[in-house]
Amino acid sequence: MQVTIRVNGNNTTHEIEDRLLLVHYLRDVLGLTGTNIGCDTTSCGACTVHLNGESVKSCTMLAAQADGAEVTTIEGLAGSDEMHPMQRAFRENHGLQCGFCTPGMVMAAVGLLREQANPTEEQVRSGLEGNLCRCTGYHNIVQAVLAAAKEGGAR
Amino acid sequence: MSILGTRVVRAEDPRLLTVGGTYVDDLREPALVGAAHATFVRSPVAHARISSIDVQDAREAPGVVAVFTGRDLDISPSPPAPMVTAAMARPALATDVVRYVGEAVAVVITDERYQGEDAAELVMVDYDPLPAVVSGEDAVRGETLLFPEAGTNVAWTGGAEQLDEHLFDDCEVVVTQVIDNQRLAPAPLEVRSAACAWSDDQGQVTLWLSTQGAQAARDELQRQLGLEEGQLRVVAPDVGGGFGAKIAADPETAALCAASRRLGRPLRWVESRSENMIAMTHGRAQHQTVTIGGRRDGTVLAYRIEVLQDSGAYPRESSWLLPILTMNMASGVYAIPKVETAARSIVTNTTPLSAYRGAGRPEATAAIERAMDLFASEIGMDPAEVRRRNFVAPDAFPFQTPSGITYDSGEYAKALDTVLEAAGYPDLQEEQRRRRERGDPLQLGFGLSAYVEITAPDNAVGETGRVEVGADGSVTVYTGSSAHGQGHATAFAMLASDELGIPMDRIKVLHGDTAKIPKGAGTYGSRSLQLGGSAVHEASVEVVKRARHLAAELLEADEGDIVLDRDAGRWHVKGAPATAVSWGELAQQAEGDGGLAADSDFSEERPTFPFGVHLAVVEVDVETGAVRLVRFVSVDDAGRVVNPVLTEGQRHGGIAQGAAQALLEHMVYDADGNPQTGNLADYAFITAAELPSFELLPMETATPLNPLGVKGIGEAGTIGSTPAVQNAVVNAITHLGVRHVDMPATAQRVWAAINEAKER
């Protein structure tokens, strides 16, 4: 089947297998490898992207379901800027180590702030429950999101 | 001013944050164009004889290039660790017998990724079931043997051959406890992955591998594949976490290389998470019996730990290294006159064990720290006080333990006092008393853990470093250490920058490529900074020395009069800064003479021993058993700190993994050897919602064993936090008659412990 998906501001049209997952469309068809795959049970959130502005786990939907939609990945988050405020906050607060969960974590964190502009620490923690990190113990990720909330991280 | 000790944000991050890292599955190397995909067929049963493997249907499936079984590929088996019988060697692909659920029996090669999963389902393996050996008792009884030719399921024994029946003769109080240090899945966010390409004449092969040590993987694979030295190049691109489980090359990697050679086609392999949970090595899995004895005044006189180490189906380093580290570190921070240790390693029909963050040391600390609390409880003394009375004194270093290990430096009581004060210990005691009095359903518990651990235990192996100044004045640092999240590119650039006076953005750190760095050990055992960092430091010092010589020549002055202006990054004659030469000019000068560079291979005389004290505060709902970790306070003294940002990050991550073991995580098997927690939906991987922010306190006691004064910090958090959290849970409900709760202290277990105590 054929899908047309607007990814990071560019229209993409490809002939794909019906069962192709959105994450594989992004990674293997478009070559946008920033979005990672960490599990096969929708548990880890490494593959989180924005679909029409909201966080989704791209391993849990078919590319076909995104036909006609607008997708933003980590590569497109900053737009024409060097870094999005959330990316900057992650760097300044050491919110990443191995970097594997990071793209999904950053996208989920932006999605969180779009729903809740000034969250408490507890709200950040429960809001990121669907994104796993093995390196940071989440401490600095939470600090980064709280810092980004003050610096336009919902953008 | 020196950059060392200052808060420097990471050099690695902009790329990781904006386009993501380049992990193995992200590689778009020209050599991998047209690569096919490998998918392994894995055993669904724990123990069985393979009577036949029918690959015909799979071969005819869409996109299938080939299907290989163990008999098709010429791979030498992985020998078990030294000291373990060769009868327990492991084939890369099982041929006659499968010994755990998840063991690979065949590999399917397909054009596309999805086709591999389809075709793997079509490989028909006839399994003739054998009884599964799952529990330690079953393994020891030996009615069923995993390796009949070995004649036993015991892979290794160590420590005391005969227990001393008089060990506790002088003690007024003796307490014994059986402790299960449960099996865990390391679960790095990036699963295992590799890609492989042979040269056209098959004389050379490049393997991109998600590994903690490219050089060790190269050596192991060259042997297994029967290659000459220099034929195999291993490259570690970005690696998405390892935690000990990516130290070596796994059998799948050898099969990948062999299959690629047979087909003359590059191959890629990325396992699924559900494969990773059962086929990547597990950690911990120690069954311990601890006995502690002493006087009612709080003096501990004797301690014994007996360890039964589950090595899983194929013994690796785990069978001897993990229990040896546990025995070496048995008495922890305490000066206990009599210490006895004994260990046995057994094989079972479960996933093989290996290192996992701490690797034998968390098990030692969990045992002694639970024992200290049990002893304190028995004599009715405050656990902090009992610990204080038995600490190795600050003037006793270097201190030799009864296990024969020499601790380099330590300030244990100071660490304890710092933590107790910051935590407000008397307030916690008061709050606990109030809640107990009013019968609050939410009881408060606090737990202590005082730990000492061993870092760079293979100190003599050392680590390599090379510092090269380019003609443009930029620097390339080569290290045999291998970052996978730790921040070497930042820390090692700081070390070079500090010596050379060249800014960090002009310094590039390279690791994990055997073509560029032929010799290296890799990253494990919290060794990177003290060995790899010291090597970079030494090489930098040597480069400065050589540069001084060159500058003296160029400026026609005595070496003794030559000054390196580290702020400007330029060389001049004392008192004449106007006429200066740059690093680039010196490098150009040295071009005919091998360039301006120096190598170092740094090893330590002895390992180092970081230490600390952790305090966890939990709330336990006595009606449901639910535990909530509400505060965590720690001192982790790992010697001199090069970059507090990185050190804190290591501590945070370590603490969380320890809390995860204490409260949630457990790799569970049923009686037939079927994994019950074989994916991330079933395995209780800890999340942000289950953790508080951590209160870290600074403390630095330098070690004399390396020029930087640094010790390791990668595993300390996990080693300290695990028993602190477990002790806190028990402490919250001890007034209800509960004496011990095994890890993980899930709501179900805590609830059951409270109710059992009520019934007694």
Query: For residue B409, is it within any domain?
Result: yes
Put simply, the answer to whether A41 touches B26 (Cβ < 8 Å) is no
- Give yes or no: residues B695 and B591 share one domain: no
Mean pLDDT of A26-39: 98
Of the candidates B304, B439, B26, B426, which has an alpha carbon nearest to the alpha carbon of residue A35?
B26
Each domain of chain A, given as residue ranges in start order, spans 2-73, 85-149
The CA-atom distances, in angstroms, between A76 and each of A28, A54, A65, A79, B624 are: 17, 14, 20, 5, 46
Residue B81 in this model has a pLDDT that exceeds 80: no
Mean pLDDT of chain A, nearest integer: 97
Beta-carbon contacts below 8 Å between A and B: 185
B666 domain residue, yes or no: yes
Option in B189, B656, B681 nearest A46 (CB):
B189
Of A38, A78, A94, the CB nearest to B10: A94
Specify if B150 maps to a domain: no
Q: Is residue B149 part of a domain?
A: no
Alpha-carbon distances of B78 from A10, A93, B69, B93, B192, rounded to whole Å: 50, 43, 17, 11, 18
Are A74 and B19 in contact (CB < 8 Å)? yes
pLDDT tens figures, A108-132: 999 999 999 999 999 999 999 999 9
Q: Which residues of B470-506 are buried (b: 16+ CB within 10 A; e: fewer)?
A: bbebbbbbbbbbbbbbbbbbbbbbbbbbbbbbbebeb
| Nearest residue in A to B655, CA atom | A137
Select from A92, A102, A125 the Cβ nearest to the Cβ of B688.
A125
Determine the pLDDT at residue B85: 84
- Mean of pLDDT over chain B: 97
Tell me the percentage of chain B whose pLDDT exceeds 90: 96
8 Å CB contact between B4 and B642: yes
Residues spanned by the domain of B519: 459-602
The CATH number of the domain where B580 resides is what? 3.30.365.10
Between B239, B484, B688, which is nearest A129 by CB? B688
Among B570, B602, B634, the domain-final residue is: B602
Alpha carbon of A112: minimum distance to chain B alpha carbons (Å)? 14
State whether ipTM is beyond 0.90: yes
Based on the fold, state whether residues B229 and B260 are members of the same structural domain. Answer: yes
pLDDT digits (tens, 9 = 90+) for B678-701: 999 999 999 999 999 999 999 999
Closest C-alpha to B350, from B390, B409, B310, B302:
B310
pLDDT per position as a tens digit, B114-155: 999 999 999 999 999 999 999 998 999 999 999 999 999 999
Contact B730, B618 (CB under 8 A): no
Q: Which residues, numbered 6 to 65 in chain A, qualify as contacts with chain B under a Cβ-Cβ cut-off of 8 Å?
A: 17, 19-20, 24, 27-28, 31, 33-44, 46
Looking from the CA of B115 toward its CB, the CA atoms found within 13 Å total 19
pLDDT in tens, B464-503: 999 999 999 999 999 999 999 999 999 999 999 999 999 9
Nearest to B724, CA basis, from B479, B441, B485, B416? B416
Decide if B190 and A38 are in contact by the 8 Å CB cutoff: yes
**pLDDT for the residue B86:** 87
- Report residue B84's pLDDT band, with 50, 70 and 90 as the boundaries: confident
How high is the pLDDT of residue B115? Answer: 98
For residue B693, the chain A residues in CB contact (below 8 A) are 121, 139, 142-143
Same domain for B450 and B508?
A: no
Q: Say yes or no for a CB contact (<8 Å) between B23 and A121.
A: no
CB B167 within 8 A of CB B338: yes
Q: Flag whether B164 is in a domain.
A: no
Q: How confident is the model at residue B760 (pLDDT cuts 50, 70, 90)?
A: confident
Calpha distance B333→B741 (Å, rounded): 23
Chain B touched by A81 (CB under 8 Å) = no
Q: What distance in Å separates the CA atoms of residue B437 and residue B64, rounded to the nearest whole number?
A: 70
Asked whether residue B107 falls in the same domain as residue B215, the answer is: yes
- Confirm if B234 and B207 have CB atoms less than 8 A apart: yes
Both tokens of B477, joined, read: 């640092």
Task: Answer yes or no: is pLDDT of B317 > 80.
Answer: no
Question: Is residue B182 situated within a structural domain?
Answer: no
CA nearest to B719, candidates B396, B459, B453, B485: B453
Contact B687 A140 (CB under 8 A): no
pLDDT digits (tens, 9 = 90+) for B52-80: 999 999 999 999 999 999 999 989 888 77
Instruction: Check whether B714 has a pLDDT greater than 90.
Output: yes
B403 and B302 both lie in a single domain: yes
End-to-end CA distance of chain B: 65
Sort out which chain B residues have CB atoms less than 8 A from A33's CB and list them: 20, 22, 25-26, 28
Residue that finishes a domain, picked among B546, B577, B602: B602
Q: Residue B144: inside a domain, yes or no? A: no
pLDDT digits (tens, 9 = 90+) for B361-380: 999 999 999 999 999 999 99
Domain stop point among B553, B577, B602? B602
Q: Are residues B494 and B574 in the same domain?
A: yes
Residues constituting chain B: 760
Match 């009520």 to its residue by tokens: B758
In this structure, are B526 and B541 located in the same domain? yes
Who's near B759: CB < 8 A, 6+ residues apart?
none
* Cβ-based neighbour number of residue B249 at 10 Å: 26
Shortest alpha-carbon distance between residue B18 and chain A (Å): 6
Position B647 in a domain: yes
Instruction: Name the fold adopted by A2-73.
Output: Ubiquitin-like (UB roll) (3.10.20)
Nearest to B241 among A92, A98, A142 (CB): A98
Residue B21 to residue A100, Cβ atoms within 8 A: yes
Is the domain of B97 the same as that of B201?
yes
Q: Kindly report, residue by residue over B203-227, the tens digit of the pLDDT.
A: 999 999 999 999 999 999 999 999 9
Question: Residue B593: what pLDDT?
Answer: 87
Q: Rounded CA gap, B446 and B431, in Å?
A: 11
Q: Could you give the angle at the alpha carbon of B497 between the alpha carbons of B537 and B602, nearest 5°?
A: 10
Above 90 in pLDDT, residue B318?
no
Judge if B339 and B382 occupy the same domain.
yes
Q: What is the DSSP letter of B669?
A: B
Query: For B541-546, which contacts have Cβ atoms below 8 Å and span 24 or more sequence positions?
Result: B541/B499, B542/B467, B542/B598, B542/B600, B543/B467, B543/B469, B543/B499, B543/B500, B543/B596, B543/B597, B543/B598, B544/B499, B544/B500, B546/B590, B546/B596, B546/B598
CATH number at residue B96: 3.90.1170.50
Q: Do residues B274 and B287 both lie within one domain?
A: no
Q: Is residue B687 domain-shared with residue B743, that is, in the same domain?
A: yes
Q: What pLDDT does B722 receive? A: 98
Token pair belonging to B716: 């300390």
For residue B415, report the phi and psi dihedrals to the nearest 5 degrees.
-65, -40
What's the gap between Cα A105 and its chain centre? 6
Quickly list H helices, B46-135: 56-59, 113-120
Q: Topology of domain A85-149, per CATH? A: DNA polymerase; domain 1 (1.10.150)
State pLDDT tens for residues B380-395: 999 999 999 999 999 9
Q: In sequence order, what are the residues at sequence separation of 6 or more whose Cβ sits closer than 8 angstroms to the Cβ of residue B321?
A: B81, B355, B359, B360
pLDDT digits (tens, 9 = 90+) for B614-637: 999 999 999 999 999 999 999 999
Token pair for residue B638?
């790992």
Is residue B269 located within the same domain as residue B295? Answer: no
- Give the pLDDT mean for B330-358: 97
Indicate whether B249 pLDDT > 90.
Answer: no
CB nearest to A99's CB, from B16, B652, B680: B16
